[in-house]
């Protein structure tokens, strides 16, 4: 009852050139006007803190009665799935898959069925989803942007998946933690109907992992059930963190603009790198923070060890996503880190030819 990937990720020694990172650089909120009084460190909690709930609603374009706050996307996924499945229920999940999501579903007693995203671009084929669901399916579990490939699911495909879910009495749980890195910007799938339950946070696209500002978007009755369920898990969020999240939302446009420029520059570097290699297969990045290249020669785990031991660089082996011949590579770090990391990756790849 654990996540193999999350334990691995949290116990790896840090490296300087972290191509294994999957988020933008940390955002330092003290660059904005902020004093200790803004944090209200009085020991009290604020039940369902309305100002933050309303800020999330404005950011996502939904009404506040559809917003549930959570400690990061991981807890948002736990709460959403806990409200939707019971032991013996069936969850249909994409593959490659972000392992902690299916580990959570398995922990809750669900049977996991899978459908394959289409290589090389890893698009979703709604027909593949249709073939995977049964009358016992209660959740269709996907990420958008896809973790690990950054593939964007268009609204037409999402609507088809929503219709499939409705036919079998299921919900579509969409982890959208990377969606704000899509190019061009996309609206949340929570706006497509009550079958959709969306999770996200300010972590990956805004560099604000430390304040653990996550959320679930769901139709009001389900949202209320999730609020009540959270009283078994965490009762309420840290109010100081809630106050910091409000500061972040007040300046989110400024934070996002700087990150968009960084990501555009770093994607160009990554695409030039992929085009230069005959030992990797990867479609060009058009959005997102991560890529998922296929290693055509050699062993991915051996490559990761070599990178760490000799080049102070990291990647994430694809076995954690169900693809042993691939690795996840992040381009969200400062450009000089990404550029040097790619140079070191190239040297390591050349050494194993």
36-92 pLDDT tens trace = 777 777 767 788 999 999 999 999 999 999 999 999 999 999 999 999 999 999 999
**Residue 315 exposure: Cα atoms within 13 Å on the Cβ side:** 33
Whether 106 maps to a domain, the answer reads yes
Strand 213-217 relative to strand 196-201, pairing: antiparallel
Whether 35 maps to a domain, the answer reads no
Structure token pair of residue 235: 């009762």
Structure token pair of residue 213: 């500002």
Mean pLDDT across the stretch 211-224? 97
pLDDT given at position 114:
97
Mean pLDDT across the stretch 248-272? 96
Do 239 and 275 sit in the same domain of this protein?
no
Question: With 90 as the cut, is the pLDDT of residue 217 above it?
Answer: yes
- Cα of 349 vs its chain's centroid, Å: 28
Do 216 and 268 sit in the same domain of this protein?
no
Whether 30 maps to a domain, the answer reads no
Which of these three, 216, 250, 284, is where a domain ends?
250
Element (H, E) at 317: strand 316-317
pLDDT given at position 207:
96
Do 336 and 281 sit in the same domain of this protein?
yes
pLDDT given at position 120:
93
Do 258 and 243 sit in the same domain of this protein?
no
Q: Which of 3-17, 83-97, 227-241 has the lowest mean pLDDT?
A: 227-241
Please tell me the distance from the alpha carbon of residue 151 to that of residue 291, in angstroms, as a whole number. 9
Do 186 and 281 sit in the same domain of this protein?
no
Do 60 and 110 sit in the same domain of this protein?
yes
How does DSSP assign 138-178, residue by residue?
EEEEEESS-TTT-PPPPHHHHHHHHHHHHHHT-EEEEE-TT
Do 142 and 198 sit in the same domain of this protein?
yes
Do 292 and 313 sit in the same domain of this protein?
yes
Look up the CATH number of the domain holding residue 295.
3.90.1150.10
Look up the CATH number of the domain holding residue 175.
3.40.640.10
Closest CA to 99 of 330, 328, 329, 345: 328
Question: With 90 as the cut, is the pLDDT of residue 236 above it?
Answer: no
Which of these three, 204, 233, 250, is where a domain ends?
250
Do 57 and 203 sit in the same domain of this protein?
yes
Mean pLDDT across the stretch 97-112? 97
Q: Which of 27-31, 260-264, 280-284 has the lowest mean pLDDT?
A: 27-31
Percent of the chain with pLDDT strictly greater than 90: 90
pLDDT tier at 30 (50, 70, 90 boundaries)? confident
In this structure, how many other beta carbons lie within 10 angstroms of the beta carbon of residue 231? 10
Whether 282 maps to a domain, the answer reads yes
Question: With 90 as the cut, is the pLDDT of residue 235 above it?
Answer: no
Please tell me the distance from the alpha carbon of residue 233 to that of residue 203, in angstroms, as a whole number. 21
> Which residues, 6+ apart, have CB-to-CB distance to 195 below 8 Å?
162, 165, 166, 170, 171, 172
- Cα of 277 vs its chain's centroid, Å: 27
Strand, helix or coil for residue 29? helix
Whether 257 maps to a domain, the answer reads yes
Whether 143 maps to a domain, the answer reads yes
For residue 274, give its domain range: 4-25+253-351
Do 125 and 76 sit in the same domain of this protein?
yes
Total of domains in the chain: 2
pLDDT given at position 134:
97
Match 């959005």 to its residue by tokens.
287
84-99 pLDDT tens trace = 999 999 999 999 999 9
pLDDT given at position 123:
97
> CB of 45 within 8 A of CB of 236?
yes
Distances (CA, A) of 203 to 94, 210, 271, 351: 22, 8, 24, 35
Distances (CA, A) of 323 to 7, 116, 319: 18, 11, 5
Do 86 and 210 sit in the same domain of this protein?
yes
Task: 45-51: list long-range contacts, CB under 8 Å, 24+ apart.
Answer: 45/235, 45/236, 45/237, 45/239, 46/236, 46/239, 46/242, 47/236, 48/227, 49/237, 49/239, 49/242, 51/246
Whether 130 maps to a domain, the answer reads yes
Whether 294 maps to a domain, the answer reads yes
**For the purposes of burial, counting CB atoms within 10 Å of the CB of 128, is it exposed (0-12), middle (13-18) or buried (19 or more)?**
middle
Which of these three, 250, 280, 311, is where a domain ends?
250
Do 197 and 333 sit in the same domain of this protein?
no
DSSP state of 346: H
């Amino acid at each position: 009852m654990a996540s193999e990937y999350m334990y691995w990720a949290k116990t790896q020694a840090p490296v300087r050139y972290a191509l294994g990172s999957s988020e933008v650089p940390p955002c330092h909120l003290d660059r904005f006007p902020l004093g200790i009084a803004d944090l209200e460190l009085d020991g009290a909690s604020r039940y369902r803190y309305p100002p933050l709930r309303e800020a999330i609603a404005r950011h996502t374009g939904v009404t506040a009665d559809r917003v549930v706050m959570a400690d990061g996307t991981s807890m948002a996924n736990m709460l959403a799935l806990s409200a939707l499945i019971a032991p013996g229920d069936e969850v249909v999940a994409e593959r490659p898959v972000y392992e902690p999501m299916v580990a959570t579903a398995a922990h809750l007693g669900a049977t996991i069925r899978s459908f394959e995203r289409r290589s090389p671009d890893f698009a979703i084929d709604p027909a593949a989803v249709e073939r995977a669901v049964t009358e016992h399916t209660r959740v269709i579990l996907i990420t958008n942007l896809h973790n690990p490939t950054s593939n964007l699911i268009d609204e037409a495909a999402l609507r088809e998946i929503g219709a499939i879910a409705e036919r079998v009495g299921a919900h579509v749980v969409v982890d959208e933690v990377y969606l704000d890195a899509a190019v061009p910007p996309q609206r949340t799938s929570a706006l497509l109907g009550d079958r959709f339950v969306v999770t996200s946070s300010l972590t990956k696209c805004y560099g604000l992992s430390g304040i653990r500002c996550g959320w679930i978007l769901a139709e009001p009755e389900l949202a209320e059930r999730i609020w009540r369920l959270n009283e078994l898990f965490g009762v309420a969020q840290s109010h100081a963190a809630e106050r910091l999240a409000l500061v972040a939302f007040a300046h989110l446009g400024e934070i996002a603009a700087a990150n968009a420029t960084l990501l555009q520059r770093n994607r160009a570097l990554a695409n030039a790198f992929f085009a230069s290699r005959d030992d990797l297969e990867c479609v060009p990045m058009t959005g997102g923070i991560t890529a998922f290249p296929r290693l055509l020669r050699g062993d991915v785990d051996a490559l990761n060890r070599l990178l760490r031991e000799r080049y102070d660089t990291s990647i994430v082996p694809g076995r954690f996503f169900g693809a042993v011949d691939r690795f996840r590579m992040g381009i969200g770090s400062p450009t000089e880190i990404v550029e040097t990391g790619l140079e070191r990756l190239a040297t390591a790849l050349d050494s194993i030819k």
